[in-house]
Amino acid sequence: MHVSRIFVERPIMTTLLTFAILLFGIIGFRALPVAALPAVDYPTIQVNASQPGANPETMASAIATPLEREFSTIAGVRSISSSNGHGFTNITIQFALDRNIDAAAQDVQAAMAKAQLPQMPRAPTYAKANPSDFPIFFLALNSDTLPLYTVNEYAQTVLAPRISTVSGVSRVQVFGEQKYAVRIQVDPDKLAAHQVGVDEVQRAIQQSNVNLPTGRLQGPKQAFTVQSSGQLMSAAAYRPLVVDYRNGVPLRLEELANVIDTVEDNKTIAWNNGTRGIILAISRQPGTNTVQIVDDIRKLLPELQAALPPAIELLVLFDASESVRGSIRDVEFTLILTIALVVMVIFLFLRNVSATLIPGSAVVLSIIGTFAVMYLFGYSLNNLSLMALTLSVGFVVDDAIVMLENIVRHLEMGRGRVEATILASREIGFTILSMTLSLVAVFIPVLFLGGMVGRIVHEFSVTIIVAILISGFVSLTFTPMLGSRYLPPHHRQQGRWFEKLLSAYDFTLRKVMRHGFATMVVAVLLFVGTLYLFRMMPTGFIPSQDGGFIFGVTMAGQDVSFESMQQRQKAVTDILQADPNLEVAMGYATASSQGFLFGKTKPRAQRRLSVDQIIDDLRPKLMQVPGIMAFLQNPPPITVNGQFGTSIYQMTVQSVNLNDVYEWTPKLTDRIRALPGFLDVNSDLLISSPQVTVDIDRDRAVSLGLTPEQIQNALYTSYGNRQVSNIYAPANQYSVILEVQPEYQQSPDAVQKLYVRSSKGQLVPLDEVTRVTRTVGPLSVNHFGQLPASTISFNLQPGLSLSGGAAAVNEAIRELRVPASVAVSFQGTVKEFQQSFQNLTILLIVAVLVIYIVLGILYESFIHPITILSGLPSAVFGALLTLVLFHKQLDLFAFVGLIMLFGVVKKNAIMMIDFAIEAQRVEGKSPAEAIYQGCLLRFRPIMMTTMAALLGTLPIALAYGEGADARQPLGLAVVGGLVVSQILTLYITPVLYLYLERLQVWLKREHVEPQLDGLYTLNPEKQNWTGRS
């Protein structure tokens, strides 16, 4: 091929083209955003609704069900789940990957408007957020002098609204919220003594605190605004409020109740590093860039700090972008190190600075040029795209090495630089084209892979394809131009070490070719061993990464009080704070039996343990705290789950019959907990919460002049943390809360002390018209797919693969003989893994077929593409064996490594086979002589390209830096496959070539083909079986 001649003869044109590639590549690199991984989040929307005082069953049936019914009609819905508790409903809608989240949000809003819901204090709201996503940024506000409700005021009115305006922020959660409120705590005994009903107190408060328009006075010359003092703004203003008159004497509120300045929710608390404070947790919208959002938030911090009084300290507790940046820096360093190692390999073989710098500059040019295309495609600098560039270094240099090595070979034969370059480029041009196109063909099937895995590897594959294509172009243009001008005319021969290596290969190759049958037996055994390893290999999904962050869920008994939960939560938070590997420890507890833990680790260089090891170390310490369970997890790099769970892996139990869910969830949970290798097994089925049932004697109530509404209203007012009035301040709105005093909220017997004014004017005690019994009931009611459901969550011990864990769970389900009316299915990560693993296996087969098709077209042969692909079993065997030896799973990244191996291993075979075919066609050599000579002459470029690819991948296999554990399986797979295939392919490929050549000659003797335009003829005497014009 003479493509290179044009560029050799026109060096200025070639130089300007090269400069253009460099220029646009540098511009693209500077403009590329930084991210941890490609944007692959499922579009997810969370809907929240509240109905204070309603029990979980009511919330599920009256609010969740009608909303879910409307949401199920929206196009692109992937799953719908809901969690319903006392007074709240949270519904999560997860959409297909190709659904636009903004359009989906509009559909959700329309569906909410259509739903038939009961009267509610406020309409349901929605947010573009996944409840399983972990916050990307934590801020803390602490003060040693100001009350927490003052600190909270700044958090909610200054920081949260301003941060919410940052593009990409989905929500700003306030942990430990302490919003100001006036709390009126009535004493039931004093109410009884003064013959006052709790409903009368409520009415007096509402009538005494008003904020109504009062109009204007319009005089002939002047207008006046009418102001009235209807608002009561503090506890001190409420205390003298007159509730009623007794014998002409005012009965004031302070005589019946404690009136205090306090907070709206006094059953929530948060700590950061042992200090009680207010914590802001900022979450991102699905599909947005973490680093960009954090950068925008950090730009606001000086402005936010200036808006706070000096007494409030603003602290950054956690920044998710730090681990992303650290990981990107490590991969960038790995890329630079890889280029340096590859250049060192070239110098080791060629022993000449000029000959080394030429392919080295080709590598840099190919990598930089790829940045321009990445920018045009809207990609980012993330772990996968940079890994793709790092791995491609060993491949993009191959084309330049092959071209340069052939030029050097002609120079060693005494030819001039230009002549040697033109001859060498003509000889090797088709080989480079074959290697480039066949390597691109490896990644073409990946582009058609669907689902989340397809989204993850799409950017990776396109990046490598672009780098390979640019490399092929550079090797046919820039490399020969430089070679024709800067290579020394009389290049010195290789050193003695290489000559000895070549002699040893020559000797062993002749031995192997004489024992072809034994070699083929080895090849067959290798193929069988590869199939065996592939079937027995433990498999996983996306490997965990050390992101420097620990998340935990704590759960106490369903009967736990807030005071007890607070003490236990503080105890487990203190354990995290005492760990020397952690820099920040945060804890959060509420009135429910559930709390949360957050831990930020020290930088990786300052700690001995990884995040997973820290969790393993903390787990037994946390188990020693009585009355509470802590479930810690290393947040996954990609959120797949649409439901919140205490552990990473989840499965759902569904049934039309709610009792079936109640019966089988505990059985399944206990069975899975007993399985070896399973950790943190738990379910969200909470059905044993102590309850007080107040049965109303309706006949008796009516006879005394009471209605069920009055009775329930009195109960709600006394025990429901009820907001009975509002305080309208200039910058905010606060609640006035009415309840009984805390000591009357501790026992069901206190219900008997309540009195209600009847329509007959009498004060009726509730124990006259009600009967109080103690029972148990659900603390939450959950739905999945519009059916009653529960979620079982679990983690796996290191060493137990995801495939092994899923198989063990399936076997446990079969052993329990779960009835057909109960559906048990994996969700989230496990479900995605099972679907993707099957697709990846098919992908490997399709990749081999595509390579075969491309090679068959290039060589016009059905047979010799098989010869070129003969090295694949040894490469796969070496990759799988290496993963086994290093106790790694065949996860998604390791699969990518296998695909990479397909490309590099067949390159070696192409160099040998292409020379042998040419020698047979042009020089009339026999197949044995042709392949033997091809192996020896191509031994140097094969060794150079393999060593370049090996050393290019070695830094990834050594696993250093942040996030290196996730990248290591890919590096190990490539390194192991290259080592084994390099040893075996150099011998198996030539032997298989001879066997297949004999097969092809025999087939053509049986079916002699007619001559086709003089291009392809059969000449059995010279073995001239095919050719090119």
Q: What number is the average pLDDT over the span 73-90?
A: 89
Three-class secondary structure assignment of 303-339: HHHHCCCCCCEEEEEEEHHHHHHHHHHHHHHHHHHHH
pLDDT in tens, 383-403: 888 888 888 887 777 778 788
Euclidean distance between CA atoms 630 and 647, whole angstroms: 10
Return the pLDDT at 495. 59
Return the pLDDT at 644. 67
> Do the Cβ atoms of 793 and 632 come closer than 8 Å?
no
pLDDT score of 260 more than 70:
yes
pLDDT in tens, 270-285: 999 989 999 999 988 8
* Residue among 443, 347, 334 at smallest CA distance from 401: 347
Return the pLDDT at 963. 66
Q: What number is the average pLDDT over the span 543-560?
A: 85
Q: What number is the average pLDDT over the span 787-795?
A: 91
Q: What number is the average pLDDT over the span 211-221?
A: 84
pLDDT in tens, 127-166: 887 766 788 899 999 999 999 999 999 999 999 999 999 9
Q: What number is the average pLDDT over the span 247-262?
A: 91
Structural tokens at position 366 = 């190919």
pLDDT in tens, 762-775: 888 888 888 888 88
> Which residues, in sequence order, are bridge partners of residue 774?
692
Rounded to the nearest 10 degrees, how much is the dihedral formed by the CA atoms of 200, 201, 202, 205? 120
Q: How far is CA 668 from CA 136, 651, 675, 805, in A?
A: 34, 10, 11, 14
Return the pLDDT at 812. 92
User: Any idea which residue has 């300052």 for tokens?
Assistant: 606
* Residue among 734, 595, 800 at smallest CA distance from 157: 734
Euclidean distance between CA atoms 285 and 302, whole angstroms: 24
Q: What number is the average pLDDT over the span 458-478?
A: 89
CATH class of 42-129: alpha beta
Return the pLDDT at 941. 80
User: Any idea which residue has 């329990």 for tokens?
Assistant: 816
Q: Which residues contact 970 (CB under 8 A, 6 or more apart)?
A: 387, 391, 893, 894, 896, 897, 900, 956
User: Any idea which residue has 């040894």 for tokens?
Assistant: 874
pLDDT score of 1026 more than 50:
no
> Which residues, in sequence order, are bridge partners of residue 259?
184
Work out whether strand 88-95 and strand 44-50 pair parallel, antiparallel, or are unpaired: antiparallel
- Is 42-129 in the same CATH topology as 1-31+352-487? no
Return the pLDDT at 492. 52
The model's confidence at residue 493, banded by pLDDT at 50, 70 and 90, is low
- In CATH, which of 3.65.10.10, 1.20.1630.10, 3.40.190.10, 1.20.1640.10 is domain 500-536+860-1029? 1.20.1640.10
pLDDT in tens, 336-351: 888 888 888 888 877 7
Three-class secondary structure assignment of 396-456: HHHHHHHHHHHHHHHHHCCCCHHHHHHHHHHHHHHHHHHHHHHHHHHHHHHHCCCHHHHHH
Euclidean distance between CA atoms 164 and 282, whole angstroms: 8
Kind plus residue range of the DSSP H or E element containing 302: helix 290-306
Distant-in-sequence contacts of 965-968, Cβ < 8 A, 24+ apart: 965/543, 965/544, 965/545, 965/546, 965/610, 966/383, 966/542, 966/543, 966/544, 966/545, 966/637, 966/893, 967/331, 967/383, 967/387, 967/893, 968/886, 968/888
Measured from the Cβ of residue 777, the count of other Cβ atoms closer than 10 Å reads 16
Q: What number is the average pLDDT over the span 206-224?
A: 85
Return the pLDDT at 239. 93
Query: CA 301: distance to chain centroid?
Result: 27
Structural tokens at position 653 = 């139990």
Return the pLDDT at 253. 92
Return the pLDDT at 1001. 75
Percent of the chain, pLDDT > 90? Answer: 29
The model's confidence at residue 466, banded by pLDDT at 50, 70 and 90, is very high
User: Any idea which residue has 């997973």 for tokens?
Assistant: 612
Three-class secondary structure assignment of 838-868: HHHHHHHHHHHHHHHHHHHHHHCCCCHHHHH
* Residue among 390, 549, 148, 310 at smallest CA distance from 952: 390
pLDDT in tens, 705-736: 988 888 888 888 888 788 889 888 887 889 89
CATH class of 180-212+229-265+689-777: alpha beta
Q: What number is the average pLDDT over the span 554-581?
A: 90
Return the pLDDT at 641. 64
Where are any strands of DSSP class E within 888-959?
none
The model's confidence at residue 9, banded by pLDDT at 50, 70 and 90, is confident
pLDDT score of 912 more than 60:
yes
pLDDT score of 516 more than 70:
yes
Largest pairwise CA distance in the chain: 132
pLDDT score of 557 more than 80:
yes
Percent of the chain, pLDDT > 70? Answer: 95
Q: Say which residue, 804 or 949, is predicted with more confidence.
A: 804
pLDDT score of 258 more than 90:
yes
Structural tokens at position 546 = 């050390």
pLDDT score of 1014 more than 50:
no
User: Any idea which residue has 């491949």 for tokens?
Assistant: 395
- CATH annotation of 1-31+352-487: 1.20.1640.10
Return the pLDDT at 1. 45
The model's confidence at residue 308, banded by pLDDT at 50, 70 and 90, is very high
pLDDT in tens, 953-963: 888 888 666 66
Kind plus residue range of the DSSP H or E element containing 649: strand 649-654
Rounded to the nearest 10 degrees, how much is the dihedral formed by the CA atoms of 182, 565, 155, 83? -100
pLDDT score of 1015 more than 80:
no
| Spans of all domains in the chain | 1-31+352-487, 42-129, 180-212+229-265+689-777, 500-536+860-1029
Structural tokens at position 784 = 């999945």
Q: How far is CA 372 from CA 24, 368, 697, in A?
A: 6, 7, 78
